């Protein structure tokens, strides 16, 4: 018993509680359950190279070690942050020697997305001929970060962020390991789970800190927050979370759910996103998704952007919040975008057709003699303020690019266009 205790001295709680069996891994039953893909492969002995894609602290390293243990294979671990081509060459050479004597090598590469294309390509022949079984771990979307050749030789398994049930189970295991109850009120316990944000390793590190600093004292949620200083959400401004959250914000606005949009906007701001990037996207939304259904949306967006530039955070954050609410509750229309796309496509396909002669100015006598500007009617001087003249190239049929919807200000525009269309037909009979 004394030797066991001595061996644990200085070992972090998270490492001491690392699962010894697949059954002990929490939160990943979809791949480790009785019918899970990893369990099935271990039963048959046909273990494929794989990419474990999931958020921090969800068990990627633990799963890789357990796969090697169950497969009775040599386990080699590298970090793409600290390893280079020389390290990979050594691993491949050692794996070839082990293979010659009938032993399999499982190579686990943490943060595999940080390897460049050439480094990723170096895996291909050794994965393909079975010299190594590769298990890569990444927090980023493999579709964007790993080259297609490597992806085609690996199965991608998605790991889930740990839910409340899984995190609660980790707390219980920590209490069993330390042999005492975590000194937190029920409120603080729930707060700790929320702050952990699905990250089991972070949770266990915080538990260890609480055990170390709060001997014999029960702390509440307020004290816990003071100690932990609140954790910033998992967010990488240049990574997948950046694109996922801005997409969630954009689609929540498009779906007219201002509350959800405020939440995603808050997530981005809390994660350290540049507010000017958010304002640029909101201005784009005003043009692209609200359009003329509410003509005030664009100037409102520009005003909010200007207000933020003048105020900065945190006061300027309210300008962003107001804009999010305004856009989320505004009528939506992409009629302007559709009209522009169709008009631009036709403009490219019709070449250099000139405008009809009567709408080309005649600044010189020569042009006037040639007929430029002849017959042009000044619309404001007509009875209805509408002449119904042709403004398309001669011989080109009128097109209808802009089709307003029956919503917001576009309802009025639609009525106006229909009135002009009927008037045009009467004038040109």
CA torsion through residues 299, 301, 306, 310, sign? positive
Three-state SS string over 341-376 comes to HHHHHHHHHCCCCCCCHHHCCCCCHHHHHCCCCCCC
DSSP per-residue codes, 302-346: HHHHHHHHHH-TTTTHHHHHHHHHHHHHS----HHHHHHHHHHHH
| DSSP conformational letter for 219 | B
Read off the pLDDT of each residue in 24-31 and give the average, rounded to a whole number.
93
Q: What digits encode the pLDDT tens for the residues 100-115?
A: 999 999 999 999 998 9
Residue 261 has pLDDT above 80, yes or no: yes
DSSP-derived 3-state class of residue 51: strand
Cα separation, 356 vs 354, in Å, equals 6
pLDDT at site 2: 40
Query: Which of the four pLDDT bands, split at 50, 70 and 90, describes residue 339?
Result: very high
Which of 185-199, 213-227, 231-245 has maximum average pLDDT?
185-199
Instruction: Please report how the helices 221-228 and 200-213 are oriented relative to each other, as an axis angle in degrees rounded to 10.
Output: 110
**Residues of the chain above pLDDT 90, percent:** 54
What are residue 108's DSSP bridge partners? 77, 135
pLDDT at site 291: 94
- Residue pair 38/63 in contact (Cβ under 8 Å)? The answer is yes
Query: Which of the four pLDDT bands, split at 50, 70 and 90, describes residue 6?
Result: very low
Query: Which of the four pLDDT bands, split at 50, 70 and 90, describes residue 136?
Result: very high
CA torsion through residues 140, 143, 146, 151, sign? positive
Whether this prediction's pTM lies above 0.85 is answered by no
Residue of 321, 317, 329 whose CA lies nearest to 290 = 329
């Amino acid at each position: 018993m004394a030797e066991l205790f001595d061996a644990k001295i200085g070992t972090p709680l998270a490492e001491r509680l690392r699962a010894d069996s697949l059954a002990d891994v929490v939160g990943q039953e979809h791949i480790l359950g009785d019918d899970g893909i990893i369990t099935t492969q271990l039963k048959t002995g046909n273990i494929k190279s794989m990419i474990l894609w999931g958020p921090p602290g969800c068990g990627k390293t633990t799963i890789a070690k357990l796969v090697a243990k169950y497969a009775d294979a040599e386990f080699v671990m590298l970090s793409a942050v600290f390893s280079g081509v020389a390290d990979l060459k050594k691993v491949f050479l050692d794996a070839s020697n082990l293979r010659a004597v009938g032993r399999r090598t499982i190579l686990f590469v943490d943060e595999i997305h940080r390897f460049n294309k050439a480094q990723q390509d170096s895996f291909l022949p050794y994965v393909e001929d079975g010299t190594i079984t590769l298990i890569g771990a990444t927090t980023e979307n493999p579709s964007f970060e790993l080259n297609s050749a490597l992806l085609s030789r690996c199965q991608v398994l998605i790991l889930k962020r740990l839910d409340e049930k899984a995190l609660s189970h980790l707390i219980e295991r920590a209490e069993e390991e330390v042999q005492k109850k975590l000194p937190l009120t029920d409120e603080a316990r729930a707060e700790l789970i929320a702050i952990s944000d699905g990250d089991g390793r972070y949770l266990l590190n915080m538990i260890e800190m609480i055990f170390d600093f709060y001997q014999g004292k029960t702390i509440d949620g307020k004290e816990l927050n003071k100690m932990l200083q609140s954790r910033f959400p998992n967010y990488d401004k240049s990574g997948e979370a950046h694109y996922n959250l801005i997409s969630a914000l954009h689609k929540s606005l498009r779906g007219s759910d201002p509350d959800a949009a405020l939440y995603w906007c808050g997530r981005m701001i809390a994660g350290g996103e540049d507010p000017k990037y958010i304002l640029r996207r909101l201005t784009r939304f005003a043009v692209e998704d609200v359009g003329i259904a509410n003509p005030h949306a664009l100037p409102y967006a520009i005003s909010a952007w200007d207000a933020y530039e003048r105020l900065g955070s945190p006061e300027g954050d309210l300008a962003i919040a107001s804009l999010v609410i305004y856009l989320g509750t505004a009528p939506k229309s992409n009629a302007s975008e559709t009209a522009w796309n169709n008009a631009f496509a036709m403009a490219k396909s019709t070449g250099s057709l000139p405008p009809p002669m009567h709408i080309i100015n005649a600044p010189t006598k020569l042009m006037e003699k040639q007929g430029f500007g002849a017959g042009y009617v000044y619309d404001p001087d007509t009875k209805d303020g509408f002449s119904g003249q042709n403004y398309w190239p001669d011989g080109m049929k009128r097109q209808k690019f802009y089709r307003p919807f029956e919503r917001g200000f576009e309802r009025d525009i639609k009525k106006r266009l229909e009135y002009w269309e009927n008037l045009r037909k009467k004038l040109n009979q």
